[in-house]
Chain A
Amino acid sequence: MSQRTIRRQIPLALTFIVGIIITANWFIDLTPLNDLGNTITNFNTVMVAFMMGFAGVNILMIHTRRIQKNMSQGNMLDVFFSVLLLGALIIWTAVGIFMGRSSDTYQWMYTNFNLPLSSTAYAATLFYLASATYRVIRARSTETTILVVVSIVVIMGNMPMFVTYIPALMTVKNWLAEVVVTAAYRAITIGVGLGGILMGVRTLLAMETGFLGGTED
Chain B
Amino acid sequence: MLDLVTLAGIWAVSLYLIYSKREIWIRRLPALDFIEEAVGRAAEMGRPVVCQGFGSGTSGMQSSIAPQIMAGLAVLGHAAKICARHGTMIIASMRSESVVPVADEVLRTAYRLEGKLDEYLANREEHLPWLQTQASMVALILRAKPATGILIGAFWHESIQVAEAFGMVGAVQIGGTGRLYQIPFFAAVCDMNLIGEEIYAVSAYINQTPQMLASMATQDYFKIAGIAFILLGTILATLGMATPLLNLFSW
- Contact surface of A with B, Cβ cutoff 8 Å: 23, 27-28, 44, 47-48, 51-52, 54-55, 58-59, 62, 121-122, 124-125, 128-129, 131-132, 135-137, 147, 185, 188-192, 194-203, 205, 207-216
Q: By the criterion CB–CB under 8 Å, are A211 and B97 in contact?
A: no
Q: Which residue of A lies closest to B78 (CB)?
A: A214
- Closest 4 interchain pairs by CB? A213-B109, A210-B74, A195-B197, A195-B200
- A122, B156: Cα distance in complex, Å: 11
Closest-by-CB residue of A relative to B11 is A201
Q: Which residue of A lies closest to B58 (CB)?
A: A48
Query: Given A132-B163, A137-B188, A198 and B215 touching (CB < 8 A)?
Result: yes
Q: A195-B196, A207-B211 are in contact. Are A132 and B78 (CB under 8 A)?
A: no
Pair B203/A210 contact, Cβ less than 8 Å: yes
Q: Are B197's CB and A192's CB within 8 A? A: yes
Q: Within 8 Å of chain A (Cβ to Cβ): is B7?
A: yes
B positions within 8 Å CB-CB of A: 1, 3-4, 7, 10-11, 14-15, 18, 58, 60-62, 67, 70-71, 73-75, 77-78, 81, 97-98, 100-102, 105-110, 113, 125, 130, 133-135, 157, 160-161, 163-165, 167-168, 178, 180, 183, 185, 188-189, 195-197, 199-203, 206-207, 209, 211-212, 215-216, 218-219, 222-223, 226
| A33 CB, min distance to chain B CBs, angstroms | 13
Assess whether B70 is in contact with A210, with CB atoms less than 8 Å apart.
yes
Residue pairs across A and B with Cβ atoms less than 8 A apart, 16 shown, are A54-B97, A55-B130, A58-B130, A128-B164, A131-B167, A137-B188, A194-B197, A195-B178, A196-B67, A196-B178, A198-B200, A202-B212, A207-B209, A207-B212, A210-B75, A214-B206
- Contact partner, B113, options A147, A191, A201, A216, Cβ 8 Å: A216
With the chains together, A28 CA to B10 CA distance in Å? 17
**Residue of A48, A189, A202 touching B60 (CB-CB under 8 A):** A48
Query: Contact at A128–B15, with CB atoms within 8 Å?
Result: no
B180 touches A188 (CB 8 A): yes
Shortest CB–CB separation between residue B191 and chain A, in angstroms?
11
Q: Which of A124, A185, A202 contacts B215 (CB 8 A)?
A: A202
Most chain B C-beta atoms within 10 Å of own C-beta, residue among A137, A185, A207: A207
* Cα distance A48–B171 in the bound complex, in angstroms: 34
- Point out the residues of chain B lying under 8 angstroms from A44, CB to CB: 62
Q: From residue B137, how far is it (CB to closest CB) to chain A in Å?
A: 10
Contacts of B202 in A (CB 8 A): 210
Task: Verify A27–B226 contact, CB threshold 8 A.
Answer: no
Q: 7 new A-B pairs (CB below 8 Å) besides A28-B4, A199-B67?
A: A51-B97, A128-B161, A129-B164, A135-B167, A201-B14, A207-B212, A214-B109
